Amino acid sequence: MGCVVAGDSISNMAGEMSRREKGAEWWRQRALLFAGGAALLAAGVIILTQLSPTRSSLLFWLCMASAAFGVALAVLGLVIRSARALAVLRLIVINAVVLAVLLGVVEGTCRLAGVDFNAFGGGGRTDSREDYPLCFREPDEPLGEVYFKRTGGVEWTGRPLSQILALRHGIDIAYRDEPELTLRYNKEGFRNPPGLKDWEVVVAGDSFTETGYLPEETIFTSVAAARSGLRIKNLGLCNTGPFTHVEYLKHFGAAPSCKIAVLAFFEGNDINDAVVEMRDRETFRTTGVRPYRQLGPQTSFLKAVYQRAKTRVHFAEKRTYRNATLTAGGKELPITLQPPPMPPDPQTLSPERKQLIAQFLDEWRDAVQKQGMTPWLLYLPINNRTYHGLWHAEPNLEEEAKSWVPNELPSMIQTLCLERSIAFVDAYPALRAAAEQGTLVYNPIFDTHLNAEGSRLVGEVLATALRNHAAKSD
């Protein structure tokens, strides 16, 4: 009897060892698959949560693919029983690890050696900003404490509105007849004739003043010069705000004959731009750190590969940018109303924001008067204000833009100007009168800057103000 019990115990122990060995073998065949799957899943999830790429970006889909492959690898490890199939999967994972190590070695070597991938291929660049028309690229040459200007002496030829719409995957046909345009910037980085040595008036502003999608003769400063008989210097550049415009005046505005300096204030974003500029300036004055926009050497091999792939693979869906229809003068015209954020209502402006507006007006006045000039402000409205009540919304119009009604911001700015002896010129009445006749005065689709007709009207408004000022002076 005892022998039988001992035999059973030995048999049970052998069976237990066999099950353990089988379990260990099962994990040995699959551990690498589970580890690789977990790594791929973790990499995809971490990048998605940390960088939050959009669904239209290549990075988003690479992360999704990484996570999906990771899950698939783990699932295959669970369900596959064939030793040969498991061996093939392990070999794939091992090769992937070897490839990752090799890429890591190449990446580290390139970084240590300082290899600049911006100098290779694709026209000698990997900077995707160069795909954009010049007038839509933010200036990146440092100026003053925290400001920027465009590099001088540059030139660009193309169809800017058509190109920017295509880059944003628009299907609207608004610019199919747009003629080719050559943009030229003088040695200072602005759209002025190279022979301009003296001027009576200088105008500083943002993209509404640069108007880099229009021929030089149709810019409102050129129209005003032709109508008034005065020489006018244009200091307009996109992606700039009022404090930058003060800096432009200090560096490039003075001339023997210049007596009037005009701040072209665009209500759509100049206040928000001023917030950013003031924040950067305060940071610089307290820490000595200033923002930079110019690209340094690009020494990452992996980033270079990704940038090349990104230029060839697109996931963004085509879309229409028409979000309203202008109905005036017996016409129905497709348009894009400017998206939020909308111009702030003075009734809801914080004390800090009001103080900021007063500050850039003070700095404009002081800088102008220091150079012996008279300060002016030209108020440029968004198309939502100019077209208000003349349009009906399309389903894709943002709710904030749909519900926005013209507020008293122009009156507030005018009052602040008058308190500071800054002459106030309002472009809204002329633009509104034309809109009521069914005339488009802004680019119709996607881009909401002044079109040639709107620029002409603003130029005539400024010319009339200059002529009236001259008549009073006489």
Angle at 232 between CA 228 and CA 236, to 5 degrees: 130
Token pair recorded at residue 215 = 């021929």
pLDDT at 13 over 60: no
pTM of the prediction?
0.82
User: Which pLDDT band holds residue 6 (cuts at 50, 70, 90)?
Assistant: low
User: Which pLDDT band holds residue 387 (cuts at 50, 70, 90)?
Assistant: very high
pLDDT digits (tens, 9 = 90+) for 75-131: 988 888 888 888 888 888 889 889 888 988 988 998 888 888 777 654 444 556 778
Q: Determine contact, residues 54/73, Cβ cutoff 8 Å.
A: no
Which of 213, 228, 210, 233 minimizes the C-alpha distance to 150?
210
Q: Would you list the DSSP string of 319-374?
A: B----EEEEETTEEEEE-PPPSSPPPPTTT--HHHHHHHHHHHHHHHHHHHHTT-E
209-237: average pLDDT:
97
pLDDT at 8 over 80: no
**Is pLDDT larger for residue 56 or for residue 71?**
71
Supply the pLDDT for residue 304: 80
Average pLDDT over the chain, rounded to an integer: 90
Token pair recorded at residue 351 = 């004390």
Supply the pLDDT for residue 295: 72
Lowest mean pLDDT among 12-21, 97-106, 305-314: 12-21
**Is pLDDT larger for residue 312 or for residue 279?**
279
pLDDT at 242 over 90: yes
Q: Give the C-alpha separation, 347 to 401, whole Å.
A: 18
62-76: average pLDDT:
89
Which of 430, 314, 441, 315 minimizes the C-alpha distance to 384?
441
Strands (E), 228-329: 232-236, 260-266, 324-328
User: Which pLDDT band holds residue 325 (cuts at 50, 70, 90)?
Assistant: very high
134-163: average pLDDT:
95
Q: Give the C-alpha separation, 187 to 279, whole Å.
A: 29
φ/ψ (deg, to 5) at 120 = -120, 135
Q: Give the C-alpha separation, 55 to 435, whole Å.
A: 38
Q: Determine contact, residues 431/437, Cβ cutoff 8 Å.
A: no
User: Which pLDDT band holds residue 14 (cuts at 50, 70, 90)?
Assistant: low
Residues 6+ apart with CB under 8 A from 43: 63, 66, 67, 70
Supply the pLDDT for residue 16: 61
Domain ranges of the chain: 2-113, 128-473
Is the CATH number of domain 128-473 2.40.40.20?
no
Supply the pLDDT for residue 195: 85
Q: How many other CB atoms sit within 10 Å of the CB of residue 304?
A: 20
17-28: average pLDDT:
75
DSSP label at residue 154: -
Which of 441, 445, 395, 451 minimizes the C-alpha distance to 172?
445
Position 86, amino acid: L
Supply the pLDDT for residue 10: 58
Q: Give the C-alpha separation, 99 to 76, whole Å.
A: 22
Q: Give the C-alpha separation, 167 to 215, whole Å.
A: 22
- Which of 86-100, 183-197, 220-234 tops mean pLDDT? 220-234
Report the percentage of the chain scoring pLDDT > 70.
93
pLDDT digits (tens, 9 = 90+) for 346-367: 999 999 999 999 999 999 999 9
Supply the pLDDT for residue 7: 55
Q: Give the C-alpha separation, 244 to 416, whole Å.
A: 20
